[in-house]
Amino acid sequence: MKPSLLFTALILSFSSQVQAEDAFVSLFDGKSLTGWEQHSGTAEYRIENGTIIGKTVPNTGNSFLCTARKYANFILEVEFKVDPSMNSGIQFRSNYYTQETEVEIAGKKKKFPADRVHGYQFEIDPSPRAYTGGVYDEGRRGWLFDLKNNEAARKAFKQGDWNTARIECRGDSIKTFINGVPAADFKDDLTAEGVIALQVHGVGKKTEAIGKEVMWKNIRIQELK
């Protein structure tokens, strides 16, 4: 390729990358929970210094702070920090029913209580198992893609520090990344669209687990055609 053509190609490539970055929009304004609503459980959510903080409370199930609208094909990026003793997650293409509903999944009937959030979850797992970045089907089928065979992703999580989650959904293709390292990569077509949600896991009556916190910031999404 001639130098002038190579230079033009590089400029066009850089321009397209800049446009792609510009296509990201923030889902959290850093000051309020406008565009978000809580479902399922009663964990506490608050805002401090441009960060959403979720706090465990006793005697409640899993809680979810959900976007008010649904998304289908997208790239989602979220920075998060979690207490080492917690389990949490980032829901995507997830849903809930306004009344108790029974549906058939994989040939089996499943009954969902009203307001129970269910669907794909980017796992946040600071335990020694280290499955952060794996995909769990919350409230439905369980693990869809764990990280037992992905040592690089298991080592990518930074304990006690900020981490970056990236989720890519294109049709039936689902890919996740933890701090830039590929984690899950699989195909599933059970749910084509749904809300984004921030999970605070229920802790029941475990007094030692009450008051633990998980934080999220810089939540942004790029919708894909």
Q: What is the pLDDT of residues 24-78, one digit of tens each?
A: 999 999 999 999 999 988 999 999 999 999 998 888 889 999 999 999 999 999 9
Rg from Cα positions in the chain: 19
* Rounded Cα distance, 80 and 97, in Å: 28
Question: What distance in Å separates the CA atoms of residue 222 and residue 21, rounded to the nearest whole number?
Answer: 8
From 161, 95, 90, 77, select the one nearest 124 (Cα to Cα). 90
Mean pLDDT, the chain, integer: 90
Residue 202 confidence (pLDDT): 78
Q: What is the pLDDT of residue 1?
A: 56
- Rounded to 5°, the CA angle 21-23-27 comes to 105
What's the confidence (pLDDT) of residue 22? 58
Q: What is the mean pLDDT of residues 154-171?
A: 97
Of the candidates 153, 155, 149, the one whose C-alpha atom is nearest the C-alpha of residue 133 is: 153
Distance CA(178)–CA(124), nearest Å, equals: 10
Query: From the CB of residue 102, how many other CB atoms can be counted at a distance below 10 Å?
Result: 9
188 pLDDT higher than 60:
yes
Residue 18 pLDDT > 50, yes or no? no
Averaged pLDDT, 14-20:
48
Q: What pLDDT is recorded for position 211?
A: 78
Q: Using CA atoms, how far apart are residues 222 and 225, in angstroms rounded to an integer?
A: 10
Per-residue pLDDT, 177? 98
Q: Is the pLDDT of residue 12 over 70?
A: no
The mean pLDDT value for 202-214 works out to 75
Q: Residue 190 — very low, low, confident or very high, per pLDDT cuts 50/70/90?
A: very high
Share of the chain above pLDDT 70, in %: 88
pLDDT in the model for residue 37 = 96
Summarize the confidence of residues 139-163 as an average pLDDT: 96
pLDDT band (50, 70, 90) for residue 225: confident
Kindly state the average pLDDT of the residues 161-177: 97
| Whole-prediction pTM | 0.87
| Digit-coded pLDDT (tens) for 92-116 | 999 999 999 999 998 889 999 999 9
Domains of the chain plus CATH, in order, are: 27-223 (2.60.120.560)
Mean pLDDT of 70-88: 95
